Amino acid sequence: MELKVGDDGETDRKQYGSDLFWWLTVSIVAILVVGAGVFTILINFHHHRSQSHSSQPYDIVPKYASSLQLALQFFDVQKSGKVQNNRVWWRGDSGLRDGSEENLDLSKGLYDAGDLMKFGFPMAFTATVLSWAILEYGNNMDAVKQLDYALESLKWITDYLVNAHPFADVLYIQVGDPEVDHNCWERPENMTEKRPLTQVNSSFPGTEVAAETAAALAAASLVFKEINLTYSEILREHAQQLFMFADTYRVSYSVSIPQVGKYYNSSGYGDELLWASSWLYHATKDPSYLTYVTETNENEFGSIGSVSWFSWDDKHAATQVLLSRVNFFGARDIPDAENLDLQKYRETSEMLMCNLLPDSPTATTNRTKSGQIWVVPWNSLQHSVASAFLAVLYSDYMLTSQTENLYCSGKMYKPVDLRKFAISQVEYVLGENPMKMSFLVGYGSNYPKYIHHRGSSIPVNAKTGCKDGFKWYDSPQPNPNVAFGAIVGGPFFNETYNDFRNNSMQAEPTTYSNALLVALLSGLVASSSVVSSF
């Protein structure tokens, strides 16, 4: 039909133009909305891929999940202070006046082992390792509902460490007299003895303990950065002050205060200085901390080309692995010379990994007939668990960076080989050993019943003083209170274990060994890789 031009036609043209304009407007808006949506999805996808912690772990291992829950619970067993959210029914308030003689609140923190001492050096190490575990494997912890417990335990220690550092050049490193403490056997809730304080300062320095505390607070500042920024900044400020103090007055605390050497004697402070500077580099991104561990002090303290065993006293191996992380994932604006030094740290880490792999041409002979890493008789499991944790980390660094192979004197290994080694170590701890015994209290049915631990060995309703509590120490009965989650010292080289309360070499648990076990289990509880930065 031919359209007739007239009044009605003009109206139709106006209506048609209006409709066309409306549809064009709607279409453009729709295109913009869809485009924005696609852009947002792409941005979120990129962010999701770059932040591994946002991805859900998979293949959760139930036995490791239950073991992790137990291991974290031991920190509640060891708490000093006003009990809060404590899962251990037989523990109550204790140490509430610690620090009061110097107008400090040192009531928090953790008792070191089976005793009632607060030793700052191993306690700070506990916090550093726990922080590292959360930073690398917090998503795994969260997947099995243990992250909040780990964070709470960490803050219990860092609150104490912050209060123990009232001035830039003063750090309180010990609460209690170990000679008095070890001549008593009593529950922490009932102790009445004086608990003197020991400090390091500019007149009586303690490089390693100040540096280890700096490492702990720097690492923890990263943990709390997204949770409580103000607290994170407080931790970082204390860490930087403590590092400056440690580096300015280079004297071992065992030299300044000889009496501390009887319990936690230091073999040297160079490793702690590098360890602390490495953590401060991650926490601040200040390149001067990286220069400190590479160009400035690598030759003197780095122990490049030398394999060592990670422990509360020696952080060389852990520092080498932590700096390998920087080399694996790269960082902007690192000078070529420093990158070459980082490569040396990584090569030394590879030497350790080859040392740990049981069928490597360079495998260590420091292992039992069953294959458990064994270095010293006192607290023997510490080195096997620590080595396994480093192996899991290195395996995940390889996976995340898509590094396929590790070469050991011409023989090729994959990341899964390191993970298998780590699994073999933790399985030994959990009962796959000639004794068919779990060394984690509360796991399985056959675990140590007579651990060397005051609170565990004395009934809650017992009224004991310093000396009369020894009747419980000498009792032939199993401990009345189960210290769930404690990892004991471990077996002798011939793979025997004597379950006696007076056998402190084998039967005493420590908080720092538990931190290492928490870290190891967090890496194994689910199949996941680490984040590339934190």
Outline where DSSP puts E strands in 95-242.
118-119, 170-175, 197-201
Nearest to 501 by CA among 465, 464, 476: 476
- 21: which strand partners? none
**Which residues, 6+ apart, have CB-to-CB distance to 445 below 8 Å?**
none
What angle do helix axes 207-223 and 270-284 make, rounded to 10 degrees? 20
238 in active site: no
Sheet of strand 170-175, all strands in order from the earlier edge strand to the far edge: 118-119, 170-175, 197-201
Nearest to 437 by CA among 373, 513, 495, 486: 495
Task: Give the Cα separation of 71 and 511 in Å (integer).
Answer: 10
Q: What 8-state DSSP symbol labels residue 373?
A: B
Nearest to 147 by CA among 226, 247, 234, 202: 226
Report CA torsion sign: 73, 75, 78, 79.
negative
Nearest to 164 by CA among 125, 220, 115, 107: 107
Alpha helices in 174-269 (DSSP H): 178-181, 207-223, 229-248, 253-256, 261-264
Q: Contact 52/529 with Cβ under 8 angstroms?
A: yes
The helix (run of H) or strand (run of E) holding residue 406 is: strand 406-408
Look up residue 344 and give its two tokens. 């040396």
Rounded to 5 degrees, what are φ and ψ at 29?
A: -60, -45
Q: Contact 79/449 with Cβ under 8 angstroms?
A: no
CA distances to 121, 207, 346, 394 from 202, rounded to whole Å, are 18, 10, 35, 38
Q: Residue 469, Cβ neighbours under 10 Å: how many?
A: 20
**Which residues, 6+ apart, have CB-to-CB distance to 10 below 8 Å?**
none
Q: What separation, in Å, do the N-terminal and C-terminal C-alpha atoms of the chain show?
A: 73
Among 165, 238, 316, 452, the active-site one is: 452
CA distances to 114, 382, 470, 478, 483 from 454, rounded to whole Å, are 6, 21, 9, 13, 10
Residues catalogued as catalytic: 452
